[in-house]
Structure 1
Amino acid sequence: MTPTTPSAQATTDIPHVTHGKTPKRAAIASWIGSALEYYDFAVYGTAAALVLNQLFFPDDTNPAIAVLVAMATVGVAYVVRPLGALIMGPLGDRFGRRFVLMLTLFLIGGATFAIGCLPTYEQVGALAPALLVVCRLIQGLSAAGEQASAISMSLEHANERHRSFTTSWTLQGTQFGTLLATAVFIPFTMLPEEDLMSWGWRVPFWLSAVVVVTAYIIRRRLEEPPAFQEVHEDDAKGAPLGLVFKHHKAAVLRIAAAAMINTVNMVFTVWSITYATNGVGLDRSTMLSVTILANAVALAAIPLVAMLADKVGRKPVFIAGVAGPALLMYPYLGSISAGNWPLIFVFGTLMSGILYSMSNGIWPAFYAEMFPTRVRVTGLALGTQIGFAISGGVAPALATYLAGPELDNWVGPAIFVSVMCAISIGAALTAKETARLSLEEINVLHRDRAVVSARAGSA
């Protein structure tokens, strides 16, 4: 008699779980939302590095202080994201992934459009940076639920053998959003300085409205995944936030530490542009082209490495994608310091476009599989947003500080990146490999852990 495997038994017991899955539609819906989210974040980071320091935080006596303050506002949206996770995560597990995806779509898009309408410091004084920070806070609060809901939606709609590949389109969307934001900004950097500072910088923010409309049309037809619908019908499931804090604290902390890899992205897409243009004096439009090329390469790399992770496992691909950028950040920043354009393009593309994509492309599945379905959005949102708050909130400002008042020391920021990557690798090594498990087996795994945790707590 042929033995019944756990996955086969799960399929026999609940044959309706795979019915109604729409992996392609879920992947597209997740892709477009992530593209909007990271378009908004990237367009702000680019503007902060190039113009917002002059328009909203002028300091005629020390321009470096204005740059530092502008970089700090980049981090504001990251620092507030854990609070957004506390709000949006439970909403996603209570009312559905689609509910949060529609809510955050309009919050993020509306805040971005509003930034393009704000008056400058010259026009209204201190009110200008205050309004700017408010918009960034709204972006951060809503982004916390957007990504976790999109990843959970695509994971639960995915075919079992292609979960990493399906969820990778969420991060492919982030790369496209970053690429689009940078590409949109380049023509405006070529405007006369007066036109750029008066109206040119506003247009990239206004264009987010186009993405919002497109995302709405796609998402309004998306259905909740069958796995969520089944769990949602369970009246005894409890409060998602309470369950996470009671049974899944270790997973939240593991993801928060692993998410330190985001430091690489923040230093590459935000701080290195500031360093190159304000510290070294390199051409800003050419530096933006480095980001465009790296992100264009990442568009192809992310789904490919995700397919690899479905075959060989999450952990080896993720760890390789953390170790590589930790090493290549040194020659990349060194090339900027030397003003060597060929090496800047080579190391930037290799580091961010290929190696960073190895971790960036597969963390959605890697992290999301650390939680059962009933608390996936809450746990994933908390873990990632705590990590992003630390790495994204601190990286631009701390790298600017480590570079010195003249922005002439690139070694300190490079060491900082290596330390954060080491933390990420250490966290990943403690995770369980889940590539070969079905979602039902993952639920059982976490259910057993919850039982052990509850027994230990009552002992």
Structure 2
Amino acid sequence: MTSASAAPANPRSRVITASLVGTTIEFYDFYVYATAAVLVFPVLFFPTGNDTTSLLLSFSVFGAAMVARPLGAVVFGHFGDRFGRKITLVWSLLTMGVATILIGCLPTFQDIGAAAALLLLILRLAQGFALGGEWSGAALVATENAPQGRRAWYGTFPQLGAPLGFIIANTVFLAISWALPHPDGPAQQSEAFLAWGWRVPFLFSAVMVVIGLWVRLRLVESETFVKAAAHGALRKFPLVTVIKRNGRQIVLGTFIMLATYVLFYLMTNFTLSYGTKAADLDTATEAARTAAAASGQSFDAAAFADQFYPGLGFGYTDFVLMQIIGVVFFGIFTLLAGPVADTIGRRRLLLWVTGAIIVFGLTFNVFLLPQVDPKFTGAMVQAFLVFGFMLMGATFGPMGAVLPELFPTNVRYSGSAIAYNLSSILGAALAPIVAVALWAATGGSPWLVGLYLSAMAGLTFVALILAPETKDMDYDDNIGVAASGSL
């Protein structure tokens, strides 16, 4: 067995690049689907004739991937803790990339009926399975190779993949929208876009996967993992070990991550739906009629009017540009959060940020209700997006260090991945569905959606109070149960 002192070290640039590039590609793939789940899939895969039902079905398939993520966490966590981080990250990237490319090749409901939705669900589950193993491995590559006292700073680089992936994915969608003809006006759902344009962002993933594989194949294992192997601490069944010895940490990690997930999916999926939905019935009816014609379905104007509830009426391009401006602040505050967490501690920083998220959830009606002056409405919504994404960066940035630090080296991949992805079920899988249901229940008002965010952030606040501060935890002294242990 190679000793820790003889293990080859990864240069800082390689660590940062590998953790950043990989998660950027993975999140790009995920966001491409998230955007299509709002704009395309309700029309092409779930044409029920009811606007709300089609959107909820699309979001349900989107959320189904979150259910697959814990399974991915278990499988990839097992191999990551048994055989190393590098090869596990390569396979997670390949799985995600292949699933995304195949989505871009799928026939639609008009081609093969309900089987199209089933195939979409299967590939969406594959995406979730892959992402279940991706984040934790990337966070470990960053933090296990970090210098003393800079673990949270290094841990922000895989986190930065989230805003970068969002910006790239939506920029690709915008570029396609601008390039295609819009005979009925500059709406995203043009005939050309619905016919083939939506496939391009999924197929473009192939180029990004090749780049990501090249970067990750150049990695070597971290000295921390090699040391655990040299001391006989690697377990045959890491899942059994982590559940038996670190069950409390899994529960705490799950709820520590909850507010982050709910906030993010409200700021992306829900706001895109709410912001771009027509503000008046006539405009909404015409858009629904066009979508029904494109999918070959009949349209009942009276039934549509009965289930209509308003949004803000922004154009797709305008609103996504507003989101991208907000996501720039997401990236900035993600990077800023790392040094702050290294200085004052992860727990103290997150308690303050989570308290701010609770307050932010109570302001939805202040920022998101239509104003008399449309320009003032735009300014308020932009401010909402900037504030929300600033909080998102401040809470998401430290997570690359917080969750891995809850676990010893020999089960760190499994433990952090399971906590991160169990939280995805409670947060990300449910958030878009619950938000749409609450939005419809109030007849178009977002106040209950904000209250939902505040309640989830309250659970995170409690978990943080119960959690230890891990800033000074030494990875070298926390490699886990030795070979003589019971597991």
Higher helix proportion (structure 1 or 2): 1
1:121 aligns with 2:121: no
Cα distance, 1:180 vs. partner?
1.1
1:178-193 counterparts in 2 under 5 A? 178-190=166-178, 191=180, 192=182, 193=190
Closer, same or farther: CA 106–73 of 1 in aligned 2, 3 Å: same
Aligned to 2:307: none
2:79–2:88 contact (8 Å) kept in structure 1: yes
2:78–2:414 contact (8 Å) kept in structure 1: yes
Aligned to 2:323: 291
Aligned to 1:270: 269
CA distance, structure 1, for counterparts of residue 391 and residue 72 of structure 2 = 30
Closer, same or farther: CA 332–208 of 1 in aligned 2, 3 Å: farther
1:54 aligns with 2:86: no
CA distance, structure 2, for counterparts of residue 138 and residue 407 of structure 1 = 35
1:254-333 counterparts in 2 under 5 A? 254-261=252-259, 262-278=261-277, 279-280=310-311, 281-332=313-364
Structure 2: state its 5+ residue gaps.
183-189, 278-309, 372-376
Aligned-partner residue type, residue 349 of structure 1 = V
Cα distance, 1:19 vs. partner?
6.6
1:404-443 counterparts in 2 under 5 A? 404=440, 408-443=444-479
Aligned to 2:394: 358
1:33 aligns with 2:5: no
Deviations 1:58-91 (CA, angstroms, capped at 9, x unpaired): 022x111001111111111111111111111111
What is the aligned counterpart of 1:109 among 85, 93, 97? Answer: 97
What is the aligned counterpart of 1:139 among 116, 124, 127? Answer: 127
Aligned to 2:297: none
CA distance, structure 1, for counterparts of residue 437 and residue 6 of structure 2 = 52
Aligned-partner residue type, residue 259 of structure 1 = M
Structure 1: state its 5+ residue gaps.
1-13, 455-459
CA distance, structure 1, for counterparts of residue 141 and residue 443 of structure 2 = 43
What is the aligned counterpart of 1:335 among 347, 364, 367? Answer: 367
1:253 aligns with 2:251: yes
Greater CA deviation, 18-27 or 373-382?
18-27
Aligned-partner residue type, residue 287 of structure 1 = F
Closer, same or farther: CA 140–228 of 1 in aligned 2, 3 Å: same
CA distance, structure 2, for counterparts of residue 287 and residue 407 of structure 1 = 22
Aligned to 1:3: none
1:93-108 counterparts in 2 under 5 A? 93-108=81-96
Cα distance, 1:442 vs. partner?
4.2
Closer, same or farther: CA 236–315 of 1 in aligned 2, 3 Å: closer
CA distance, structure 2, for counterparts of residue 41 and residue 431 of structure 1 = 30
Aligned to 1:240: 238
CA distance, structure 2, for counterparts of residue 429 and residue 447 of structure 1 = 27
Cα distance, 1:240 vs. partner?
0.9
Partner of 2:150, secondary structure, is: helix
Cα distance, 1:333 vs. partner?
5.7
Superposition RMSD on alpha carbons, in Å?
A: 2.1
TM-score w.r.t. the length of structure 2 is 0.85
CA distance, structure 2, for counterparts of residue 333 and residue 200 of structure 1 = 35
1:2-21 counterparts in 2 under 5 A? 16=5, 20-21=9-10
What is the aligned counterpart of 1:226 among 220, 223, 228? Answer: 223
1:151–1:364 contact (8 Å) kept in structure 2: yes
CA distance, structure 1, for counterparts of residue 94 and residue 385 of structure 2 = 33
Cα distance, 1:334 vs. partner?
4.4
CA distance, structure 2, for counterparts of residue 15 and residue 216 of structure 1 = 26
Aligned to 2:432: 396
CA distance, structure 2, for counterparts of residue 17 and residue 375 of structure 1 = 23
Greater CA deviation, 358-367 or 402-411?
402-411
Closer, same or farther: CA 447–320 of 1 in aligned 2, 3 Å: farther
What is the aligned counterpart of 1:69 among 41, 57, 77? Answer: 57
Closer, same or farther: CA 15–167 of 1 in aligned 2, 3 Å: same
Cα distance, 1:188 vs. partner?
3.1
Aligned to 1:5: none
Cα distance, 1:325 vs. partner?
2.8
Aligned-partner residue type, residue 322 of structure 2 = V
| Identical columns (%) | 28
What is the aligned counterpart of 1:154 among 138, 142, 155? Answer: 142
Aligned-partner residue type, residue 397 of structure 2 = G
Aligned to 1:8: none
Aligned to 2:208: 211
Cα distance, 1:329 vs. partner?
3.6
CA distance, structure 2, for counterparts of residue 334 and residue 134 of structure 1 = 40
Aligned to 1:457: none
CA distance, structure 2, for counterparts of residue 86 and residue 301 of structure 1 = 31
1:82 aligns with 2:44: no
Aligned-partner residue type, residue 420 of structure 1 = M
Closer, same or farther: CA 19–310 of 1 in aligned 2, 3 Å: farther
Aligned-partner residue type, residue 198 of structure 1 = A
CA distance, structure 2, for counterparts of residue 175 and residue 161 of structure 1 = 25
Deviations 1:239-272 (CA, angstroms, capped at 9, x unpaired): 2111101100000000111111210000111011
Deviations 1:11-37 (CA, angstroms, capped at 9, x unpaired): xxx982897243331221011111111
Aligned-partner residue type, residue 388 of structure 2 = M
Cα distance, 1:437 vs. partner?
3.0
TM-score w.r.t. the length of structure 1 is 0.90
Cα distance, 1:321 vs. partner?
2.5
CA distance, structure 2, for counterparts of residue 334 and residue 112 of structure 1 = 38
